[in-house]
Amino acid sequence: MIIWLNGTHGIGKTTTSALVQQLVPGSRVFDAEKVGETLMDIKPGLPETDNFQHWPPWRPLVVDTARRVLDYTGGTLVIPMTVLVEPYWREISDGLAEHGIAVRHFVLHAEPDVLRARILGDTVMGPSAFRMQYVEAYAEAARAWLHDEAEVVDTTDRSPAEAAGQIARSALAATG
Instruction: Please give the pLDDT value at position 105.
Output: 98
Average pLDDT over residues 33-61: 96
Instruction: Please give the pLDDT value at position 129.
Output: 85
Average pLDDT over residues 82-95: 97
User: How far apart, in Å, are the Cα atoms of 108 and each of 12, 142, 176?
Assistant: 8, 11, 23
pLDDT surpassing 90 at residue 32 = yes
Residues 6+ apart with CB under 8 A from 21: 27, 28, 29, 78
Within a 10 A sphere around the Cβ of 50, how many other Cβ atoms? 8
Instruction: Please give the pLDDT value at position 154.
Output: 96
CATH number where 19 lies? 3.40.50.300
Domain span at residue 49 reads 2-174
- For the stretch 125-176, pLDDT in tens is 888 888 888 899 999 999 999 999 999 999 999 999 999 999 999 999 987 6
Instruction: Please give the pLDDT value at position 130.
Output: 86
* Prediction pTM value: 0.95
Q: What total number of domains does the chain contain?
A: 1
